[in-house]
Amino acid sequence: MQTRKATAIAHPNIALIKYWGNRNDALRLPANSSLSMNLAALATTTTVEFRSDLDADSVMIDDAEATASARERVIAHLDRVRVLASIQKKAKVISRNNFPAGTGLASSASAFAALTVAACAAAGLQLSTDELSRLARRASGSACRSVPGGYVLWDACDNDDCSFGRTIAPADHWDLRDVIAIVESAHKATGSTEGHAIAGTSPFQVARVASTPERLERCRAAILAHDFLALADVIEQDALAMHAVMMTSVPSLLYWRPATLAVMQAVHAWRADGLAVAFTIDAGPNVHCICPAESSTQVEHLVRAIPGVERALTSGVGPGSRLIP
Ligand code: PMV
């Protein structure tokens, strides 16, 4: 029996300029460019083994059989790798997240970045970081930003060949932290794949997409200059623009809970008092409080005291996806 096995680790990322909506759903070509930072404290580790003795792919996530929909998505991605490598063998996939169970932080970005890197290595493919990022994008858009390290820009680009994530600054360029205020641990009602598909039903999506290049440029400049107040303004504007689209799409996606808003308002009050902190929110109710390392202990302490915050998790900026022994 011939087997080929590889293990990879990947970190999720938090978008500072958001990706929402595709210009091509099948290829996951995004409506706009986005910019993120990888989160070092959170990780997915995935082992892929192509085996000649398997009749079907098997997928275990966090020590349980994957649900039918997760399994389908993993198999579709394994199929992309099999086509590239010209192999037919089925695979055994074992994936584990280090995120504490029930935090609502399960991330398709780290999952598909780790799967891409491990599956390509196990299939004997030698792809560059750019090629791995491009391939990861096909499974989950934001996964392409978890392949390179540090602060990553995903250029929307017009076609499959040029749409992937690139590092604009390494992880140690600026020691920012993400203090994640977990206000609800349940799985989100509407996942991002469905969300991207209806983004265009909001009358605000056209305006959001048209105004993103200016915010992206401001965000990139703020990161390169270590200018926290400029970063704070632009990431909050961008997150609110995305949530305005979500709320006004058909059907409406209203991810916020009362505690989401309580944290957002507290962040504004703390910043007005001179504490360096800003919020961003993904397709869910949890609030990511972005701050320089120096403010993070105080931010964490303050966040935990807000009624409705179940727990807080802090992460620094992380490296890209990589193979591990
Ligand atoms: O990659 P997806 O399909 O899970 O979409 C990610 C969407 C957001 O997290 C809301 C924004 C982003 O850019 O990460």
86-117 pLDDT, tens digit each:
999 999 999 999 987 666 677 899 999 999 99
Q: 236 in ligand 1 pocket by Cβ < 6 Å? A: no
CA atoms within 13 A on the CB side of 143: 30
85-90 own/partner pairs: CB under 8 Å, 24+ apart: 85/120, 85/123, 85/124, 85/125, 87/50, 87/123, 87/124, 89/2, 89/50, 89/51, 89/52, 89/54, 90/50, 90/51, 90/54, 90/55, 90/56, 90/57, 90/58
So what's the pLDDT on residue 125? 96
Model pLDDT, residue 103: 66
Condensed to tens digits (0 to 9), the pLDDT of residues 185-210 reads 876 668 888 999 999 999 999 999 99
Q: Provide the pLDDT confidence category of residue 23 given band limits of 50, 70 and 90.
A: very high
Contact criterion met (CB below 8 Å) for 104 and 60: no
Determine how β-strand 58-61 pairs with β-strand 90-97. parallel
Pocket probe mutation, ligand 1, options 36, 281, 282, 288, max atoms within 8 Å of Cβ: 282
Among 66, 79, 80, 150, which residue's Cα sits nearest to residue 108? 66
Give pLDDT, residue 193: 87
Report, as an integer, the average pLDDT of 256-282: 97
Flag whether pLDDT at 214 surpasses 80: yes
Report the candidate in 151, 83, 160, 75 with the shortest Cα–Cα distance to residue 112: 75
Per-residue pLDDT, averaged over 20-25, amounts to 95
Q: What is the pLDDT of residue 97?
A: 95
**Which protein residue has the closest C-alpha to ligand 1 atom 6?**
142
Structure tokens at 6: 């590889």
Q: What tokens were used for 307?
A: 């009624």
- Atom index in ligand 1 nearest the CA of residue 14 equals 14
Determine if ligand 1 sits within 6 Å of the CB of residue 8. Answer: no
C-alpha 292 – ligand 1 centre gap (Å): 23
Question: How far away, in angstroms, is 86 Cα from ligand 1 center?
Answer: 31
Average pLDDT over residues 226-237: 98
pLDDT > 70? residue 316:
yes
CA distance 151 to 221: 12
Q: Which residues contact 241 (CB under 8 A, 6 or more apart)?
A: 18, 204, 208, 211, 215
- pTM (2 decimals)? 0.96
Query: What is the best residue among 16, 18, 209 to mutate for testing ligand 1's pocket, by most ligand atoms within 8 Å of CB?
Result: 18
Q: How far is the CA of 39 from the centre of ligand 1 (A)?
A: 14
Per residue in 126-177, pLDDT tens? 999 999 999 999 999 999 999 999 999 999 998 999 999 999 999 999 999 9
Q: How many CB atoms lie within 10 A of CB 172?
A: 11
Token pair of 183 as six digits: 């206000």
